[in-house]
Each structure stands twice: as structure tokens, then as C-alpha cells.
């Protein structure tokens, strides 16, 4: 797997004039990388420059900036962050692998969320797993899976006396009646 999955800019000329800033949005904008809205009042990266004699301005949300800066070992091309990740990183992406070290939890969550959307768009996943993912995305608390989806199925507790009667075993001894569970009660 490639930990530097973004297309470098070896074949592109560097800008003759370049300015980078992190202003607060005075109006709503679109991120040049993901296309999501950058709401009024949010910080974002603004890059202005002259490439090959043409002026361009790129507005990028800070989430995309963090991910781009993390994976752009050999440079990058504006507007190709997510297509490069889909092509060069998502197919073999492992959560918690060395390529994810150094990213904030929010950036990791965004990568995993977009990777899973990409994965399910591949059409190779059965309907049950797809249904599980739909529940995952909608949950505000992503630390625990939805009930009954990923949680193990537990057998209902059975009274020991009732079980022994069903199995026609001898009744419990006096010692077994008084016995306490060891440790944490499991």
C-alpha cells in the first residue's frame, strides 16, 4: 500500500506567484477538494497563485488540508485529493495502520467514512452489511455500534436450578448454593 497516494506535481510548473492564508470565511464557499460547503465564519485555507500565466484561487476546508498535507509526500494537484485517494489508497486502506499515524481523530473518521462510502459503491457488498453501514452513518455516537447490528448475540440468562431440572441432574449441593461468582462476577 502506498502511504503517499497523491499525484505529485513533477510534470506541472510551480506557480510564479503564490500566496497562502487561513482566513475566516466572510461568506459560504465550496471546498476545492471535497466540494462540501465551507460555512460563513469557518476557517479555511485560501491559495492564490499564477500557474502557467493563469491566476487561480483555491478554497479548501481544514479537514481536506490536514488529509492532503498528511498524504502529499511528493506534492499534489489541486482538486484531485479524493480521486487520488480513491484510486491509490482506498483499495488497501487499513484503519490503524502506519499510514494513518499522525492524523487527528476527526480526519481518520472522515477518511473511514468516505472510504466506506466508496467501498459500498463498488457493488461487491451484500445487502446485510450495506444495511449495517446505513445505520452507522446516521448515528451521532459512533463509539458503539447500533443495537443488534455488530453487537454479539447473547443467550438469555438461565436459572441454574431450572437448567439442572431440565437436564435431570442431581440437585445443587449446599456449597454450590452459597458460592459467589469469582472476580468481577462473570
With beta carbons less than 8 A apart as the criterion, state whether 145 and 151 touch.
Answer: yes
Q: What is the pLDDT of residue 186?
A: 46
**Inter-CA distances, 7 with 69, 71, 132, Å:** 12, 10, 33
Burial class of residue 44 (count of CB atoms within 10 Å of its CB; 0-12, 13-18, 19+): buried
Q: Which DSSP symbol is given to 29? A: E
At a CB cut-off of 8 Å and minimum separation 6, what does 170 contact?
164
Q: In this predicted model, which residue has the larger pLDDT, 165 or 50?
A: 50
Model pLDDT for residues 119-154, shown as the tens digit of each residue? 888 765 555 555 555 555 554 555 555 555 444 445
**Inter-CA distances, 28 with 43, 47, 72, 80, 91, Å:** 11, 16, 27, 22, 33
Model pLDDT for residues 55-83, shown as the tens digit of each residue? 999 999 999 999 998 888 777 888 888 98
Model pLDDT for residues 148-178, shown as the tens digit of each residue? 544 444 555 666 677 666 666 555 555 555 4
Amino acid at each position: 500500500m502506498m502511504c503517499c497516494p497523491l499525484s505529485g506535481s513533477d510534470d506541472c510548473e510551480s506557480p510564479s506567484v503564490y500566496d497562502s492564508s487561513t482566513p475566516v470565511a466572510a461568506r459560504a464557499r465550496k471546498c476545492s477538494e471535497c466540494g462540501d460547503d465551507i460555512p460563513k465564519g469557518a476557517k479555511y485555507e485560501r491559495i492564490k497563485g499564477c500557474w502557467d500565466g493563469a491566476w487561480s484561487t483555491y478554497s479548501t476546508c481544514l479537514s481536506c488540508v490536514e488529509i492532503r498535507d498528511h498524504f502529499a509526500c511528493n506534492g499534489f494537484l489541486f482538486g484531485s485529493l479524493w480521486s487520488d485517494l480513491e484510486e491509490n489508497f482506498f483499495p488497501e486502506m487499513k484503519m490503524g495502520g502506519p499510514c494513518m499515524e499522525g492524523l487527528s481523530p476527526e480526519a481518520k473518521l472522515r477518511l473511514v467514512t468516505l472510504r466506506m462510502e466508496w467501498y459500498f459503491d463498488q457493488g461487491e457488498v451484500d445487502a446485510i452489511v450495506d444495511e449495517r453501514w446505513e445505520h452507522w452513518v446516521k448515528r451521532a455516537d459512533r463509539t458503539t455500534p447500533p443495537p443488534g447490528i455488530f453487537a454479539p448475540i447473547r443467550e438469555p440468562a438461565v436459572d441454574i436450578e431450572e437448567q439442572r431440572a431440565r437436564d435431570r441432574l442431581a440437585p445443587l449441593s449446599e456449597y454450590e448454593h452459597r458460592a459467589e461468582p469469582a472476580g468481577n462476577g462473570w
